[in-house]
Chain A
Amino acid sequence: MQHVVSIRGLSKSFGRIQALTNVSFEVPSHSIFGLLGPNGAGKTTLFSIAADFLKADAGTVEVLGIDTRTISRLRGRLSILPQDAQFQRNVPILDQLVFFRLLAGQTKQQAQQEVLHTLDMVGLQSYAKRRVGSLSHGMVKRLGVAQAFLGQPEVILLDEPTEGLDPAGARQIRDLIKQLKQRATLMVSSHNLAEIQELCDHVGILDQGKLVLTGSVDEITRADREYNLCLSRPLQNSELECLTSIEGVRNIKTLSHPGANQGKGSAEYLVTLDLSADHINQDAVIAAILRGVLDMGVTPRKLAEGHSLESHFLEVTGGQSGDTVALDPAE
């Protein structure tokens, strides 16, 4: 598998605070790589070093085989949505983005066309003549995403791309990211684990500046993948035992059981699969569970993938909120 981003032995400190410690991982081509971690874990620092905003104390970042300390060689091939960078408040957004494209060598007309198209993609075309100072927080975030999508970058770094967006705006950005996967490799950082699980095929988890877990989402969640199963009635203990005995099922936990006392009403279960054995197929296990449920005369009302990644995240980070251990001034 070809790697588009290679990070080797990356370390960075701010005074006495160690923001990154010997971080190494690789990002495969045409993948969406999710970078997870509590606040202050070093995600923004890592992105900032990858874009040469910050200088690393040790280690290297290579993008498309080029050391990012010579970032100009990546001009036009790498773009970034920085987390907390501000646009010029008193300049119309069209002028700012057109200026970026003029730097890329486009004519003013070409630049305007492309910028308007990109603003349309993020739902901001009608605000093109407005100044940044008059936009809401969510709009500014979408503007940041738009500038990262300008041109034909081969690698796009998105630091918290949906932070502060309403659900519809966040969905729009997620859909755009999925579309971009066809032509680019993306690295996305987020606190939203469900979002990362939905978007990404590979993840890395940072905790207190150290990389504590990396790999494909499939590999990470394979050992205990979770599903939410909603049934038309609660299961008897014997029925639960019967389902748990299916090969590949680790355990089944009752999540909600509103009509438990009367033995009626719907009920929701968290089913944890153990797919670690090679011969066990996820789809076959799910089919066996559903067949078993139907044989018991119970109707499955919903089956949805649960937050398997979240469990791993909490496990490897110790379930600690980074808010109390903010390490990284860049975050």
Chain B
Amino acid sequence: MNLKTPTIDHIRLISLYWSRYAVRSGSGLVYLLIALVFGLFVAHILITPVEQLIARQERELDQMNPEVIRNTIVDIGQPIIQWVLGQKSLKDIVQQSVARQRRLTNHSDDDSMTVQSQKNDAGLDPWTRFLLEKRPALLSAIFLVLLFGMPFVISFLAYNQVSGDIQSHGLRYLLLRTERSNIYFGRFLGTVIFSTAVMAIIVVTIVFYLGIKTRIYPALALAGWAVHGFLALAILMVPYIAVCSLISASVDSPFLSLILAKVIIAGVLVLAILGSVAWEPAKYLLYALPWAWQSNLLHPAPVRCLGAALACLLYTAVFLMLGYYCFERRDL
């Protein structure tokens, strides 16, 4: 492939211009709203039971019992983490959640909750134990759900990197002023910058709320895990943006680009999960996108964590080069 020399200065200018005006365009605003609503809704669902317990304890006991709170958080976080990590089926998770809800409503006996939590803890694998015990469990659960859900949301931002301007011929004003490679990579980078900024807003909001409102974790532990989670989210978005970039360069209809992005990102997951029921090797479809790797971004072993990050970068490189190959050769 003849990669025309990209100009760093042009890529910088194009990415800044793109990220600056992406928010003004419909897709930027829609993504911002959906990502914020999704991120904060997930946090709300997971934090609310803990807040209610704290309020009840303060009302009934005049102070909160950190041990009980932590055990409750483990109760809440454990099924979610085990499901996202593929260690338990949805059926087990639902049964566990119903039992937990029953205990929470009939509780009054804090000791019995502690004992039950200890029972649940038995037999946990080291990864789950790390996320639940060595790191702020509530934040771990939120990050895992966001890592699972954000790939579905990112296409709202990234679907229209070039397809709309191919359709409207708007790129023609740029083509005599810079290389196609600068336009392609500049817009990709601009989308990554915008996505990263939105991830930062979501993580900072959640972490500030957790730190100030619940006060159940030491600030340093919370901040450290928040930085890790933010980096995991930011890195994971990059290959999905690159997939959207490839789709956007291949079709000249933004609507079709959005539909294809949605179908491909979700389709790979659904086909792998449903397909593996009938034919087990279908699960390897997950490797077509970073689905199979992405949870490793929160793995306790640095090698697996870094390996997942490298895998994300490798996926990005492959999708980007395929997209650039289409963009360089197509009529604009």
Contact = CB atoms under 8 A, between A and B. Distances in A.
B267 interface: no
B332 interface: yes
Nearest to B17: A99
B13 interface: yes
B87 interface: no
B178 interface: yes
A25 interface: no
Contacts of A242: none
A88 B172 contact: no
A104 B169 CA distance: 21
Nearest to B168: A86
Nearest to B26: A90
B7 to A, nearest CB: 9
Interface residues of B, number: 23
Interface in A63-93: 71-72, 74-75, 78-80, 82, 84-88, 90-91
A93 to B, nearest CB: 12
A86 B17 contact: no
A80 B24 contact: no
Given A72-B179, A100-B173, A91 B24 contact: yes
Contact of A75 (B168, B172, B176, B332): B176
A310 interface: no
A14 B139 CA distance: 55
Interface in A89-114: 90-91, 96, 99-100, 102-104
Interface in B133-190: 168-179
A147 interface: yes
Contacts of A71: 175-176
Given A53-B331, A99-B13, A99-B17, A75 B170 contact: no
A72 B4 contact: yes
B interface: dominant SS: loop
A52 B173 contact: no
Contacts of A91: 21, 24
Contact of B172 (A78, A82, A99): A82
A51 interface: yes
Nearest to A96: B173
A87 B173 contact: yes
Interface in B290-332: 329, 331-332
Contacts of A174: none
B129 interface: no
A86 B332 contact: no
Contacts of B14: 103
Contact of B175 (A53, A87, A90): A53
B170 A87 contact: yes
B25 interface: yes
Contacts of B174: 100, 103
Contacts of B172: 48, 51, 53, 80, 82, 85
| From A55, A72, A78, A82, residue with most partner B Cβ within 10 Å | A72
Given A53-B331, A90-B25, A78 B176 contact: yes
A314 interface: no
A43 to B, nearest CB: 15
Contacts of B25: 88, 90
B168 A85 contact: yes
A55 B329 contact: yes
Interface in A44-62: 48, 51-55
Given A51-B176, A99-B13, A90 B169 contact: no
A75 B178 CA distance: 7
A104 B176 CA distance: 10
B331 A86 contact: no
A78 B175 CA distance: 11
Nearest to B21: A91
A53 B174 CA distance: 10
A88 B4 CA distance: 26
B283 interface: no
A86 B169 contact: yes
A78 B172 CA distance: 13
B10 interface: yes
A36 to B, nearest CB: 22
A270 B4 CA distance: 58
Interface in B1-49: 4, 10, 13-14, 17, 21, 24-25
A72 B182 CA distance: 11
Nearest to B170: A86
A112 to B, nearest CB: 15
The 7 closest A-B pairs by CB, nearest first: A85-B169, A86-B168, A85-B172, A82-B172, A54-B331, A103-B177, A86-B170
Given A54-B331, A85-B169, A88-B170, 9 more contacts: A51-B175, A52-B176, A53-B172, A53-B331, A53-B332, A80-B172, A86-B168, A99-B13, A104-B177
17 contacts: A52-B176, A53-B169, A53-B172, A53-B175, A53-B332, A55-B331, A78-B176, A80-B176, A82-B169, A82-B172, A85-B171, A88-B25, A90-B21, A96-B173, A100-B177, A103-B13, A103-B14
Interface of A: 48, 51-55, 71-72, 74-75, 78-80, 82, 84-88, 90-91, 96, 99-100, 102-104, 147
